[in-house]
Amino acid sequence: MSELVPRSRIMVVDDQAVHLKALCDILGQHDLDAAGFTTGEAALAHLRGQAYDLLLTDMNMPGMDGLALIEAARALDPGIACIIMTGAGTVDTAVKAMKIGAFDYIIKPFKAATLLPVLARALESRQLRQQNVKLEAALRDRIDELGRVNLFLEAARKEAERTNHEKSAFLSNMSHELRTPLNSILGFAQILASDRFPKGEGERQRFSQNIVSSGKHLLSLVNEMLDLSKIEAGKVSLVLEAVMLDEVLREVHALVAPLAEKRRIALLLPADCRFELSVDRMRLKQILVNLFSNAIKYNRPQGSVSVDCHVGQRGYASIAISDSGIGLTAEQLQTIFVPFGRAGLDESDEEGTGLGLTITKRLVEAMRGSIGVDSKPGEGSTFRIELPLTNTAATAAGARSTMHHAT
């Protein structure tokens, strides 16, 4: 049997004040919180400002009758439990009341013992419905959350698949790149070691030279692979310090000048790169040497390499290295930052591992910078890196630009 839910709020509506009071008293004695109204209109007005668990209304009243009240009350609060009190012989109106959403009806006159179980069932059903609504909302939340988790997992799976694919491609490219110089070393060494080979001095020198250069190439491949794997494993600790860009540019210039002279490439450095960057000095040098030597290597005879630097946005300096070289197509640009991604021009003649730009990009990004490239086949390329200025330099640059705006 259902129990009355203590302190439930019950609205009682009956145009006969004596009945109304008797009902409210009975409900009060059973620990229910009853409020009585003698007209449907007054009850409805009250219902607009107050929530009730149950509406117990007489059917026949002057003005708004019980049916109209139930309809209006449920429009305000679809969860309210409604019970209609109706005289014998008007059961069909009670059925109508049930159709518009009343929970039950009770035939007048009735005793408290008849009314109370009806009220208890209605209140219990309302409580169950409320719990159901909460459970449904919680379920919807869980489903939404599950959906979000699924999306996240799916993205993580795709990312893992992509990384896995990249690693496999890297491994297969790596084996190929290592095998080429190794085969060449073995081949020439076997020829040199063979008894049947008439080793003229010139031949021997040429073959030995091939072994040395393949060995050197192999060494730089291994070194760069180790460097890259350290960077990717996050094992490279960068020492960020205040570094004057012009000083590093001069040092890099000294390092690459012999290569430029050999190729008759003019190196044009600007005089005004006095920016203070917050970077790892050694790694900045490595980045610039790589970009400069590429700009020299993939140039045309008597071409030029020029540098432009300026303070960019948000406390960053922008350094652009432009060459008058062979340039790159949009398709080639897709592969150059990928390990062993050599654009396949005539760089087989060029010393290189195909790892330089991958390492460069990783290093620039590790120093909170970015790298981009503009290129036109046959006209040349511009590699642009953005690196953070020190706080002092950024503040000074900000003040300068404000002054420019003001003037």
Catalog residues that contact ligand ADP under the rule CB under 6 A. 290, 294-295, 298, 323, 325-326, 328, 336, 341-343, 345, 347, 352-358, 381
32: left (phi over 0), alpha (psi -120 to 50) or beta: beta
Cβ-based neighbours of 80, under 8 Å, separated by 6 or more = 52, 53, 54, 55, 73, 74, 126
Q: Which is nearer to ligand ADP, 66 or 352 (CB)?
A: 352
Closest CA to 311 of 369, 216, 246, 393: 393
User: Considering the complex, what minimum distance in angstroms separates the CB of residue 401 from ligand ADP?
Assistant: 31
Placement of tokens 């009670």 in the chain: 94
Decide: residue 75, CB within 10 A, 0-12 exposed, 13-18 middle, 19+ buried.
exposed
> How many CB atoms are located within 10 Å of the residue 186 CB?
13
User: Considering the complex, what minimum distance in angstroms separates the CB of residue 151 from ligand ADP?
Assistant: 35
Closest CA to 14 of 98, 115, 92, 113: 115
User: Considering the complex, what minimum distance in angstroms separates the CB of residue 136 from ligand ADP?
Assistant: 58
Cβ-based neighbours of 347, under 8 Å, separated by 6 or more = 297, 298
User: Considering the complex, what minimum distance in angstroms separates the CB of residue 295 from ligand ADP?
Assistant: 5
- 386, 317 Cβ separation under 8 angstroms: yes
Q: Which is nearer to ligand ADP, 36 or 352 (CB)?
A: 352
User: Considering the complex, what minimum distance in angstroms separates the CB of residue 175 from ligand ADP?
Assistant: 18
User: Considering the complex, what minimum distance in angstroms separates the CB of residue 275 from ligand ADP?
Assistant: 23
List C-alpha distances in Å: 355 to 279, 300, 358. 21, 22, 5
Cβ-based neighbours of 265, under 8 Å, separated by 6 or more = 296, 299, 302, 303, 304, 305
Q: Which is nearer to ligand ADP, 325 or 369 (CB)?
A: 325
Q: Which is nearer to ligand ADP, 60 or 332 (CB)?
A: 332
Q: Which is nearer to ligand ADP, 36 or 325 (CB)?
A: 325
User: Considering the complex, what minimum distance in angstroms separates the CB of residue 407 from ligand ADP?
Assistant: 38
Q: Which is nearer to ligand ADP, 195 or 349 (CB)?
A: 349
Q: Which is nearer to ligand ADP, 40 or 380 (CB)?
A: 380
User: Considering the complex, what minimum distance in angstroms separates the CB of residue 330 from ligand ADP?
Assistant: 13
Q: Which is nearer to ligand ADP, 118 or 231 (CB)?
A: 231
C-alpha triplet 223, 229, 235: angle, nearest 5°: 110
User: Considering the complex, what minimum distance in angstroms separates the CB of residue 214 from ligand ADP?
Assistant: 15
Q: Phi then psi for 317, rounded to 5 degrees?
A: -105, 145
Query: What is the DSSP code (8-state) at residue 236?
Result: P
Q: Which is nearer to ligand ADP, 115 or 249 (CB)?
A: 249
- 252, 269 Cβ separation under 8 angstroms: no
- Exposure b/e, 277-316, CB count within 10 A at least 16 = b: bbbbbebbbbbbbbbbbbbbbbbeeebbbbbebebeeebb
